[in-house]
Amino acid sequence: MTQDMVREIGAMAGELVEWRRDFHRHPELSFAERRTSEVVRAFLETCGIEVRACAGTGLCGLLQGGREGPTIALRADMDALAVAEENDTEYRSQAEGVMHACGHDGHMAILMGAARLLSRHRATLAGNIVFLFQPSEEDPPGGATRMIAEGALDGVDGVFGLHLWQPLPTGQVGVRSGALMAQADKFKVVVNGRGGHASQPHLTVDPVLVASHVVVAAQSIASRFVDPLAPAVVSFTTVHGGRVHNIIPDSVTLTGTVRTLDLGVQGAIKARLREVCEQTCRAFGASADFEYEDGYPPLINDASMVDLVTRAARRELGDTHVTTIEPVMGGEDFAFYLQRVPGAFMMLGAGDGMRYPHHNARFDIDERVLPLGVRLMTAVALEALATRVAGR
């Protein structure tokens, strides 16, 4: 990246904060990002970028370079979460019960900054850049599959994305070849018993007791039926049953999630979890209605594309700002892009002074990361075009 570009990014630092805070004040849920989409579209059009709607509220912006070359895509997600914000800042959410609690507001600001910078230097680009502003990353089945179905990756030779990451120090770039993020599935178990008076438990089939055994028994799946070297998570996250203190209910409903990095492990856990739930219930005279929904697949980074990102990040930010990280057991529908086109997803630390994790009602980012994000995304784009990813 030229020094002129670095100076331009420095000059837009205040605007990056303003854009991020505007999105933060006006969060919108999955596939309802109408205002967000309008703001981004208007901005891209002022940059002379050709824009079309994609996946409902999503956008695809095409920047054609001055010379022939490959086409790469850069992606930012747009949706917020159903979280009531508890931060007391001047830019806190104005939408009741909705909040940017994962950093997507920052992702959009960073990609807008990269779009402006690259559009100013389009004559020097040997190839094309597609800017993907995607709806509904947080809510499976997500927006990536719709973006792909509507042509977002047509003609694209490589795709890149980043996630602002609270666990990393601000400005630290976390990369990893292969599996970076997990398959994120969800399940539901309805434990059917027979209700009755709490003073006569012997006349009932107590689904509260049975559900408790189901939860405990299921913990043996990851600890005793999965290779200890293969990451796996089985978590029960909600328990619903009963209404009053002296009545044993007829049923209890449990929900939870399974996280794996390997499809073989995922299939084994899926089958074993059903068996554990059904057989444990049967042992107590109850029955189980079991439902399992596959979520986003594992996010698998292309090794050569990770090498490309590493080169670009080290050149732009310095060797000490790039590190190989362990896999993250969260899910990301960027995985669908990587199933179609070689690419890489990276984590960019934004955690200095930030105590609260992603999806927390007090989550926030260190806004000093925004110009660094623009530098990183721009550097990766330029490196990809320079190495002509289509012919690697």
Q: Taking residues 303-307, what's their average pLDDT?
A: 97
pLDDT over threshold 70, residue 246: yes
pTM for the complete prediction? 0.93
Is 296 an annotated catalytic residue?
Answer: yes
pLDDT at position 346 over 60: yes
Residue 126 sits in a domain of what CATH number? 3.40.630.10
pLDDT digits (tens, 9 = 90+) for 196-245: 999 999 999 999 999 999 999 999 999 999 999 999 999 999 999 999 99
Domain shared by 233 and 169, yes or no = no
Instruction: Give the integer Cα–Cα distance in Å for 3 and 374.
Output: 14
Instruction: Calculate mean pLDDT across residues 331-338.
Output: 97
- What is the total count of domains within the chain? 2
290-301 confidence digits (pLDDT tens): 999 999 999 999
Sign of the dihedral defined by the CA atoms of residues 135, 141, 144, 148, in that order:
negative
Task: Identify the active-site residue in 15, 150, 278, 367.
Answer: 367
Share of the chain above pLDDT 90, in %: 98
Closest CA to 49 of 144, 143, 122, 125: 122
Q: How far apart are CA 86 and CA 191, in angstroms?
A: 35
Instruction: Name the one residue in this structure whose structure tokens are 């020097």.
Output: 124
* Nearest C-alpha neighbor of 105 from the set 304, 384, 350: 350
pLDDT tens-digit profile of 167-199? 999 999 999 999 999 999 999 999 999 999 999
* Residue 388, pLDDT score: 81
What local confidence, expressed as pLDDT, does residue 303 receive? 97
pLDDT in tens, 261-270: 999 999 999 9
Residues 289 and 379 both lie in one domain? no
Q: For this structure, is 86 an active site residue?
A: no
Task: Note whether 162 and 302 are same-domain residues.
Answer: yes
Q: Where are the alpha helices (DSSP H) in the chain?
A: 3-11, 13-25, 34-46, 104-120, 144-149, 207-224, 263-283, 303-317, 334-340, 369-386
Q: Does 95 lie in the same domain as 203?
A: no
Both 171 and 308 in one domain: the answer is: yes
We report the CATH number of the domain holding residue 271 as: 3.30.70.360
Distance CA 269, CA 265 (A): 6
- Residue 142, pLDDT score: 96
pLDDT at 111: 98
Same-domain pairing of 311 and 210:
no
Local confidence band at 50 (pLDDT 50, 70, 90 cut-offs): very high
- Report the pLDDT value the prediction gives residue 390, as an integer from 0 to 100: 56
Kindly indicate the confidence band of residue 130, based on its pLDDT and cuts at 50, 70 and 90.
very high
Looking at every residue in the chain, the average pLDDT score rounds to 97
Per-residue pLDDT for 391 more than 60?
Answer: no
Question: What CA dihedral angle connects 343, 349, 350 and 354, to 10 degrees?
Answer: 140
Q: 193 with 290, same domain?
A: yes
Render 256-321 in DSSP notation, one character per residue. Answer: EEEEES-HHHHHHHHHHHHHHHHHHHHHTT-EEEEEEEEEEPPEEE-HHHHHHHHHHHHHHH-GGG
Q: Single out the catalytic residue among 28, 85, 296, 316.
A: 296
Question: What sign does the CA torsion over 82, 55, 12, 169 have?
Answer: positive
Is residue 344 a contact partner of residue 306, using CB atoms and an 8 Å limit? yes
Model confidence at 389: pLDDT above 90: no
131 and 193 assigned to the same domain: no
pLDDT in tens, 69-123: 999 999 999 999 999 999 999 999 999 999 999 999 999 999 999 999 999 999 9
Out of 239, 264, 296, a domain closes at 296
Say if residue 273 is in the same domain as residue 192: yes
What is the CA 341 to chain-centroid distance, rounded? 18
Residues 197, 254, single domain; the answer is: yes
**Is 283 found in the same domain as 332?**
no
**DSSP codes, 309-364:** HHHHHHHHH-GGGEEE---B-S--THHHHHHHS-EEEEEEE--TT--S-TTSTT--
> Which residue, 296, 311, 335, sits at the end of a domain?
296
Q: Of 279, 296, 313, at which residue does a domain stop?
A: 296
- 298: cis peptide before it, omega within 30°? no
Q: Residue 159 is part of which domain span? A: 3-180+298-391
**pLDDT > 70: what percent of the chain?**
99
> What is the model's pLDDT at position 1?
87
Residues 126 and 197 in one domain: no
